[in-house]
Amino acid sequence: MSEGRIAIVTGSSRGIGRAIALAIVGAGCRVVVNYRESREAALAVQREAQKRVSGSCLVIKADVTREAEIEAMIDETLRHFGRLDILVNNAGISDPCGFLEVDLARWSRMMEANLTSAFLCCRAVLPHMVKQEWGRIINISSTSGLTGGTSGAHYAAAKGGMIAMTKALASEFAPKGITVNAIVPSKIDTGMLRSALGTGGTDALIRRIPVGRLGTAEEIAGLAVYLASEQAGYITGEAIVASGGYR
């Protein structure tokens, strides 16, 4: 990755987002750690980033389902760093349930958090990327968006919509020097997954994964760093699955 690039990683106070933010700093870039509620966790990411490279991290609170808060985050990023090159749409929620448990409010909340947020962030950053004729957008989706998964139809629909949006934006903005790709993880070792499964459930799941383990957030982060790099300039519109062979 070219040094000096500026990235926003939404929902990066923990889990996959945290790993991506730190990996981007490790690759020589500067990063905005975005959070909605977990301020202390976001500041801990900043401290870790600053240990690696002084001045490499800015923490900004913003609810990425709110257009005005996204615009304020971008304005603050531009004031602080002077430019914006990379957007990682990582923020989202999980709400496992059966289809008949999903009322309209629950459906709308899932779409807003997992799909509308990515739409709003893309719409806000793309004018800046078009102006500079360079940009990288990376959307963190899920294999549920390809297979239906086990987390509910509302989650699968939101993550599938993210993949479709990725492909549409990639075609439209490729002539402007902007790539748009999706990373499609499955069964990544995060606190959220382990708490949802419990010890017995985690062990049972691992037995079903061909590589024999859960994926790590750092593995997803490594892929994100590559997709954000100059070397990935010929890759756009892709939904890259990272599942350990799990189907």
- Given a cut of 90, is residue 197 above it in pLDDT? no
pLDDT at 122: 98
Q: What is the mean pLDDT of the chain?
A: 96
Q: Does the pLDDT of residue 82 top 70, yes or no?
A: yes
Reported as a pLDDT band with limits 50, 70 and 90, residue 1 is low
| pLDDT tens digits, one per residue of 115-174 | 999 999 999 999 999 999 999 999 999 999 999 999 999 999 999 999 999 999 999 999
- Distance, in Å, from the CA atom of 50 to the CA atom of 58, rounded to the nearest integer, reads 10
Higher pLDDT, 123 or 196: 123
* pLDDT above 90 for 193: no
Listing DSSP states for 11-35 in one string gives T-SSHHHHHHHHHHHHTT-EEEEEE
The crossing angle, in degrees rounded to 10, of helices 117-132 and 67-81 is: 30
Residue 30 and residue 81 in contact, taking contact as beta carbons nearer than 8 Å: yes
- Catalytically active residues, by annotation: 155
Please give the domain boundaries of the chain with CATH numbers for all domains: 6-242 (3.40.50.720)
Confidence of residue 220 (pLDDT cuts 50, 70, 90): very high
Confirm whether pTM is higher than 0.85.
Answer: yes
Query: Is residue 191 pLDDT above 90, yes or no?
Result: no
Distance CA 77, CA 8 (A): 8
Q: What is residue 201's predicted lDDT score, i.e. its pLDDT?
A: 87
State how far the Cα of 176 lies from the Cα of 192, in Å rounded to an integer.
37
Distance CA 16, CA 100 (A): 30
Task: Copy the structure tokens of residue 22.
Answer: 């730190």
Query: What average pLDDT does the segment 16-24 reach?
Result: 98
